[in-house]
Structure formats: C-alpha cells, structure tokens
Amino acid sequence: MRIEKDSMGEMQVPEDALYGASTQRAVLNFPISGHRMPEAFIKGLGLVKFACATANEQLGRLSTEKAELIRRACEEVYEGKLSEHFPLDVFQTGSGTSSNMNLNEVVSNRACQYAGTPIASKDPIHPNDDVNMGQSSNDIVPTVLHVSLALAIKDKLVPALQHLHDELDAKAEAFKDIIKIGRTHLMDATPLSLGQEFSGYAAQVQKGVVRAQECVDRLEELAIGGTAVGTGINCHPEFPGKVCEILRERTGVGFREADNHFEAQAGRDDCVEVAGILTTIAVSLNKIASDIRLLGSGPRSGLGELLLPSTQPGSSIMPGKVNPVMSEMLVQVSIYVTAMGNMVAMCGRDGHFELNVTIPAIAHALHDSVEVLSNGAETFADKCVNGIQPNLEAIKNHVDRSLMLVTALNPYIGYDNAAKVAKAAFAEGKTLKEVLLEQKLMEEADIDKALDPRDMIHPKA
C-alpha cells in the first residue's frame, strides 16, 4: 500500500493502482453489487476528457505539454488499456463523482509515470486543476452518459439489428412461393406465403434499426459547460462548443451543447426516451422469437412448420430432444431489457432540483440493454434464422385441412352459407369441397378455382 492524500486527509491505496485517495474511499464506501461501471462508459470518460484537454489547450488555459500528457493517458483509457484501474461499483454517489475522480486520478498518476515523477505527486498533472479544468462531475458524467451510449448504439446495436434484418429478409425471399395457413387469435385464418410472414418480421427489425438511429439523435445534446448547477461557473464560455466540435470530429456523431443546461443536468428525460425505444425494439424481437419458436414446435405434436437449427441437446433425461434455445434466449433478453427500461424510468423521475442523482444506475441499465440486445440479435440471426428451413409436408397438410379457405367462398355463396359449410365440414370431418358438392352449392370447377390458396395470397379486386 501507499499513502495518498485528498481533501479529507490520508488514505491507503494499493501500490499498483493508478487511482488515488478519492477512488479508494469510494471502493471502501460502496462494496454493493460487484457490478463495475460499464466498460463503454469508462471508455467514454476517456474520450470526453481527451476533448476537454484539447479544448482547454485551444483556449490557452492549458499548456500544450500538459494537454498532450492528458490526451496520451485518456487515449489509453479509451482504448481499454487501463480498465483494471476503474474498480468502482455502479451503486455509488448518484452524480457519478466517484467515477469522474477515478478518471482524474488515473490520468494524473499515469502522467506521473510518463514524466518519471512519483505517483501521487500530482506533478506534472493535477487531477482537479488540470484534468478536471472547467468541469464538474455534474456536467461531465451526463455528457459521458450521452456520448458513450450514442456510440454504443451507433457502433454495436444498429449493425446487429441490420444483420438480423438481412437474414430475415433473405428468408422472406427464399420462402416467397411457399403457401401456408395464416393464424389469428392462435386459430386458423386465410393463407399467406411463408415469405410474406417473414417479410413482416424483417420489417419489424428494420423499424428497429430506424428507432435505434433515432436514439443517437436523442443523445446528441450534451451537458458539458454547465459545471456545478448549470450556470457554467469556472468554465470558459467557448469551452463547451469546442468540446462538442472535437467530439463531432472524432466520432462522426452530431454532438452539440445543450440548449438549456439546467434541463440537461436536472432531468434525464432523453435517457428515459431511449429506454422506451430500446424496450420497443426488445418487444419486437420477442414477438419474432416467439413466433418462430411456435412455428417450429413439435417436431410431431406441434405446428412443425419450421425446421429450426439444432444447437445443443435439449434434455438431460429425454434422449434426442432438441429445444428452440435461441428463441428462448432472445425472449429472456427482451424481458431483461424491458425491466431495465422500467428502472431507467424510475431513475429519471428521481431528479431533484438541479441534478439527477441516479446516473450510474442509468448508465448500467442502458449500456447493459444495448449490449444484450446487440449480442442477442446477432446470435439469433447467426444461430437460428440463418439455418431455418420450411417443413413443406407439414405446411401443405395444414393448408389442406384448414377450414378458413372458406372465406374465399363469400363472393360465391355469401357469408351465411359459407359459415354453414365450414361448420358442417368441421362437424362431419369432411373437406369444404365435399360439403359444397353434397349441398350442391357450387360446381366442382368453380370450387377448385375459388379454393386455390395461391390466388388468396395476392387477392384480385
């Protein structure tokens, strides 16, 4: 252990740690969950502090030598090279001050290593005066939350959803000529093609891609420049604009200074909205996964219209059993993301006066949601959708046995007569054609034409 000092006095810190006294106090104060702050959030801290150092250099407030040392350390943080030095629990001070100071101390001590000065000497870089210049945890942490989430959604979630869409769209094309029975209310309905069914799934996911892109738009406003309570005390008036410009150039995302700094720090409505969008995407994926699971049920006692890829044994006691585990995985992902969305909503309501004090929990919930949604969508695409095959025999059998083809008879014999035919066919175990001929309601040639399911999936006026 080594001895470091902060405003509260001396603190023993592990000898090999790059963090300092403030971080170690938080380590001891918050042994709560074992869940560290999200890796993407920590990398975002490095990126934002990189931009802050550059902005302060451009404004003449920080020497080029100091700015370069800070940037060098922040780049290492952004690249994940110093992640072991960020040990703090998610459930910490609600402003994220502990995580902000964690970064400040790591950068300061890493700069000491670069310069060959003793760790904890704060020479040549001071954690507060230099790394945190013109900043407060109260504007930095909300800024990092937005930046890190926007990048995670842009770089991970959007590509994963697009990949799932492409796999579903390919199946829609491959299955376009396979006629199957439709189902509403879990009951037989009129026919459609298997390709049309999958085109609906693909369209759902494509809307999810658009919604995810909209999340990035919602996160472009940054709180940087508001400092303690939104007034911008100790901050150069041009500082936030320069930080946003540097972040835009570095990421390609349209980050900009918040229109109202008091709203940007006191409220987390943007994050609540993003949580709602992520929940919508999760619900959509749940529906698709559940449909595919049900269509593949069986193989002999269920619907059995789809042949799903076999990925692992399904039972420890029933030999040969294979389960739709990829659908089950995605359903659980959906449930989890929905729960995290509810958590963010509750966190959002607990912003009191000039600051929301649940930001670390919001960061955990949203970053975890993006991570599991992205991984879930990509895995489902690769290990389920890609390998789906139609069970043509089961599909044809269901079409041939369905009574809902009777709907096509409405123009010929009227709704009431068609209903009587369907009920008679069901009660007597006969086909629609047999009942129609027995009751002499239509000629055989007209029956065959009317009941051809191929004409029902693209009805003519």
Is position 156 annotated in a ligand binding site? Answer: no
Smallest CA-to-CA distance from 239 within 129, 127, 134, 126 is with 134
Report the C-alpha gap between 252 and 255 in whole angstroms: 9
Digits of tens for pLDDT over the chain (461 positions)? 999 988 899 999 999 999 999 999 999 999 999 999 999 999 999 999 999 999 999 999 999 999 999 999 999 999 999 999 999 999 999 999 999 999 999 999 999 999 999 999 999 999 999 999 999 999 999 999 999 999 999 999 999 999 999 999 999 999 999 999 999 999 999 999 999 999 999 999 999 999 999 999 999 999 999 999 999 999 999 999 999 999 999 999 999 999 999 999 999 999 999 999 999 999 999 999 999 999 999 988 999 999 999 988 888 888 888 899 999 999 999 999 999 999 999 999 988 999 999 999 999 999 999 999 999 999 999 999 999 999 999 999 999 888 888 899 999 999 999 999 999 999 999 989 999 999 999 999 999 999 998 888 886 64
Q: Where are the domains of the chain?
A: 2-133, 147-177+191-230+252-391, 402-456
Is position 402 annotated in a ligand binding site? Answer: no
Is position 322 annotated in a ligand binding site? Answer: yes
* CATH class of the domain defined by 147-177+191-230+252-391: mainly alpha
User: Known catalytic residue: 315?
Assistant: yes
Catalytic residue selected from 33, 63, 310, 315: 315
Is position 321 annotated in a ligand binding site? Answer: yes
Smallest CA-to-CA distance from 306 within 319, 320, 322, 282 is with 322
Burial 91-113 (b: 16+ CB within 10 A, else e): bbbbbbbbbbbbbbbbbbbbbbe
Catalytic residue selected from 7, 185, 301, 458: 185
pTM: 0.94
User: Known catalytic residue: 35?
Assistant: no
Provide the CATH topology of domain 402-456. Ribonucleotide Reductase Protein R1; domain 1 (1.10.40)
Superfamily covering domain 2-133: Fumarase/aspartase (N-terminal domain) (1.10.275.10)
